[in-house]
């Protein structure tokens, strides 16, 4: 059973427009959410995160929105740039009880920004 | 942030053989994690490697198949034993940031089993 779902495997957006990547989760114990970006042949790199006590976090062109009641989060990229073309993973974590925050990942969404 | 290196970066192996993947971090970290990403699948946690104790394995993964060593705070190895084509995947090690919940990932090891 997938606890973190990214239902869109791919997304194409024109350069300069907004990219919106969506993520849904089922485990109500998750209290911290992260987005990672992955280029081919490289490991995922951390992009932005949000705690469950917030509903929005902004960092430059990237904003993450969290709707706890809907168990839904989204990543907005404005304006989109060709260098943003990558696979974006949504991840969620909650205290496993050992003081370590193990991550559960979605399958990823491949974003293509068209010049 | 932590700088993580993995060896080998990729390998092609024969069925029934074993491969050991090394993960080196440029700073001392308490927790190291091993993940697998099979084609079209999520990143899946295999195990948590703690220094000085046995690794903790997730459901569906066992020590006989994926033995892990953690001899010190900067190094870990994952062995994929008795490989089959189903083990073809990218294997990534990661570490927790000392502050916050972010994790940093190595570049991955792309394994192909024939």
Contact B42 A103 (CB under 8 A): no
The pLDDT of residue B97: 67
Name the more confident of B21 and B44. B21
Contact B48 A106 (CB under 8 A): no
For residue B47, the tally of other CB atoms under 10 A from its CB is 22
Q: How many residues does chain A have?
A: 115
Looking at residues B89-95, what average pLDDT do you find? 91
Residues in chain A closer than 8 A to B41 (CB atoms) = 107
Query: CA-to-CA distance for A13 and A38, rounded, in angstroms?
Result: 17
> How close A78 comes to chain B (CA, Å)?
23
Contact B31 A100 (CB under 8 A): yes
pLDDT digits (tens, 9 = 90+) for A80-110: 999 999 999 999 887 554 444 567 888 899 9
pLDDT digits (tens, 9 = 90+) for B11-43: 999 999 999 999 999 998 888 899 998 876 778
pLDDT digits (tens, 9 = 90+) for A73-87: 999 999 999 999 999
The pLDDT of residue B100: 55
- Report the mean per-residue pLDDT for chain B: 89
Residues in chain B closer than 8 A to A36 (CB atoms) = 105
Q: For residue B12, what are its two tokens? A: 């092609």
Query: CA-to-CA distance for A113 and A96, rounded, in angstroms?
Result: 37
């Amino acid at each position: 059973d997938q606890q973190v779902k990214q239902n869109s495997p791919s997304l194409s957006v024109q350069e300069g427009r907004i990219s919106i990547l969506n993520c849904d989760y089922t485990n109500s114990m998750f209290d911290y959410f992260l987005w990672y970006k992955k280029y081919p042949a490289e490991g995922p790199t951390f992009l932005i995160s949000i705690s469950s006590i917030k509903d929005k976090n902004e960092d430059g062109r990237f904003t993450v929105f969290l709707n706890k009641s809907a168990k839904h989060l989204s990543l907005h990229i404005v304006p989109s740039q060709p260098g943003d073309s990558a696979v974006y993973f949504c991840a969620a974590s909650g205290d496993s009880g050992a003081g370590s925050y193990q991550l559960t990942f979605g399958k990823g969404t491949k974003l293509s920004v068209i010049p | 942030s932590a700088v993580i290196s993995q060896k080998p970066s990729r390998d092609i192996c024969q069925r029934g053989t074993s491969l050991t993947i090394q993960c080196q971090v440029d700073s001392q970290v308490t927790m190291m994690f091993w993940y697998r990403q099979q084609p079209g699948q999520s990143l899946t946690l295999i195990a948590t490697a703690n220094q000085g104790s046995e690794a903790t394995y997730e459901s569906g993964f066992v020590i006989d198949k994926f033995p892990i060593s953690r001899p010190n705070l900067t190094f870990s190895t994952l062995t994929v034993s008795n490989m089959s084509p189903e083990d073809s995947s990218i294997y990534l090690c990661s570490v927790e940031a000392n502050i916050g919940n972010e994790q940093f990932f190595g570049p991955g090891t792309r394994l192909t089993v024939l």
